[in-house]
Amino acid sequence: MERTKKERYKNKLLRVMVKHIGKTNSISMSALYEAVFGEPCRDKINETRIIRRLITELRRDGVPICSDTDSEGGGYYLAAAGGELENYCMRLRIRALKTLRMEAILRKMTLPELIGQLNLNVGGKK
């Protein structure tokens, strides 16, 4: 996707997200796709990939877009004041630690050993 078009879609996505502040106001991926692109989402896997990329870019820009997959469907939302961002970040950390724990098991290491190696690798690169 060309840069100017992508920026336009990021701005549109952000304008839509401003209407969805707080977990109780979350928007589903399909509804988000439709709001940004103006057409129904026919393929939730392939067509929504662009939305997920745009969300990732906005998060990298510091926009606190959270997501949840609860039994009632979940969706995406901007963190409201309070603990929503903290809760989302904690879920990210737990998921990351589970992934690292699996890597440690596969490498026959303890999680602290693996994390120590990661610290050395990151610390050694400048």
| Residue 123 scores a pLDDT above 70 | no
User: Which structural domains are found in the chain, ordered by start?
Assistant: 3-80 (1.10.10.10), 94-124 (no CATH)
Q: How confident is the model over 37-94, as pLDDT tens digits?
A: 999 988 887 888 999 999 999 999 999 999 998 766 689 999 998 799 999 999 999 9
Cβ pair 47, 4 in contact under 8 A: no
Please enumerate in sequence order all residues whose Cβ is within 8 A of that of 22, keeping only pairs 6 or more positions apart, or say none.
77, 78, 79, 80, 84
Q: Which of 10-14, 54-58, 119-123 has the lowest mean pLDDT?
A: 119-123
Instruction: Report the pLDDT value the prediction gives residue 126, as an integer from 0 to 100.
Output: 47
